[in-house]
Copies of this chain bind each other. A is one copy, B any other.
Amino acid sequence: MIAVDCNGADGGPAVVAEGARRSGEQVLLFGPAAELTGHEHVVDAPVRILGDEEPVRGVRSKPEASIVQAAKAVADGRAEALVSAGSTGPTLAAATLSIKRLRGVHRPAIAALLPLPTGPALLLDAGANTEVRPEHLVQFAYMGAAFMEAVVGTERPRVGLLSVGSEAGKGTPDVLAARERLEQGDLNFAGNVEGFDLTAGTVDVIVTDGFTGNVALKVAEGASRTVREAIRDRVRSAGPLAMLGGLLIRGPVGRLRAEFDPERTGGALLLGLRRPVVIAHGSFGPDGIAAAVSLARRAVDERMVERTAGALERAGALRSVPAGSVATNG
């Protein structure tokens, strides 16, 4: 059973519910029952936390909010994973507070699955932690690799640390310290990668702090849109022959666009928690939501959380906690 928060999506609760239905998976829906008629397993939860509220305060003060109830259902074991199409802040806060971090994990990270021509790549942290320490970056690397291996099926994922140059000496002191530790570990570690590498398919996992990662993700989306729009505008204004040319390539370019559409990958994940959490984009239609639910299902079936915990433990990358207290489902 996957808990789905139906509030907060641009298309409204019914679109989310329809997407959840299309996934074919067992779902438990949280949202306004009045707008979710015709669906099974609905918990009436019309209250939502708005994007401009301080997330932790919002979650604490509104226990009846749909995202809080949905996260609680996962924490209680009524559902195995959480999918939210609402704002990232409240989802992160509700999930961290009730589903909780894996023991020994410093901070959960937002991992964005990038649809690239060369196949999906994972960027983390895409915005959960604007400031990080080297040990956080090290954990992100293992968490990202475990996800790509377990859920996407990438063998020995190549992991790169985002920096300002590929040479070992390039970067902030924190990046250099993380690099040193990652080089000593057992990951398939490619060393530093640069901004160019984000969309080039050079590596499968790109590790960075949540400030740089959030900016990088949005720059990539923005630049891609700027180029597509500029090409379209030029073709349209260049006379009838170019316009005919534009019509002739519309098929393949349209298919390409669909292939690069973030809806295909299902969105972003929160890694480092005790259950899988998927954050679909608020703009997703039913197919994007269905992909998000399937992604959550796959993370459960492939035991992503347990494998992440195992990888962190083997690597000695867990925060020191009392011996024997590392638990994946405590």
Seen from chain A, the residues whose Cβ lies within 8 Å of a Cβ on chain B are: 52, 116-117, 127, 130-131, 162-164, 167, 171-173, 194-200, 208, 210-212, 214-231, 233-235, 237-238, 241-242, 244-249, 251-253, 255-256, 260
Verify A234–B219 contact, CB threshold 8 A. no
A107 to chain B minimum Cβ distance, whole angstroms, is: 15
Contact residues in B for A210 (Cβ distance below 8 Å): 164
Q: Identify the closest chain B residue to A199 (Cβ).
A: B226
The complex places the Cα of A258 from the Cα of B237 at a distance, in Å, of 17
Contact residues in B for A198 (Cβ distance below 8 Å): 219, 222-223
Verify A230–B260 contact, CB threshold 8 A. yes
Are A199 and B211 CB-contacts (below 8 A) given A127-B164, A245-B248, A249-B238?
no
Verify A252–B248 contact, CB threshold 8 A. no
Q: List 29 A-B contacts (CB under 8 A).
A: A130-B164, A130-B171, A130-B172, A164-B211, A172-B211, A194-B214, A194-B218, A195-B218, A195-B220, A195-B222, A196-B222, A199-B226, A200-B222, A200-B226, A212-B212, A216-B216, A219-B220, A219-B223, A220-B220, A221-B223, A231-B231, A231-B253, A231-B256, A234-B252, A235-B249, A235-B253, A238-B251, A242-B249, A248-B248
Verify A219–B238 contact, CB threshold 8 A. no
Verify B219–A199 contact, CB threshold 8 A. yes
Count of identical protomers in the assembly: 2
The complex places the Cα of A307 from the Cα of B225 at a distance, in Å, of 36
A169 to chain B minimum Cβ distance, whole angstroms, is: 8
Are A196 and B218 CB-contacts (below 8 A) given A211-B164, A234-B255, A235-B249?
yes
The complex places the Cα of A212 from the Cα of B52 at a distance, in Å, of 25
Contact residues in B for A242 (Cβ distance below 8 Å): 248-249, 251-252
Q: Identify the closest chain B residue to A260 (Cβ).
A: B230
Contact residues in B for A167 (Cβ distance below 8 Å): 52
Verify A230–B172 contact, CB threshold 8 A. no
Q: Which of B130, B172, B220, B221 contacts A131 (CB 8 A)?
A: B172
Q: Identify the closest chain B residue to A244 (Cβ).
A: B248
Q: Which of A117, A231, A245 has the most CB of B within 10 A?
A: A245
The complex places the Cα of A234 from the Cα of B250 at a distance, in Å, of 11
Contact residues in B for A252 (Cβ distance below 8 Å): 234-235, 237-238, 242
Q: Which of B163, B217, B234 contacts A195 (CB 8 A)?
A: B217
A230 to chain B minimum Cβ distance, whole angstroms, is: 5
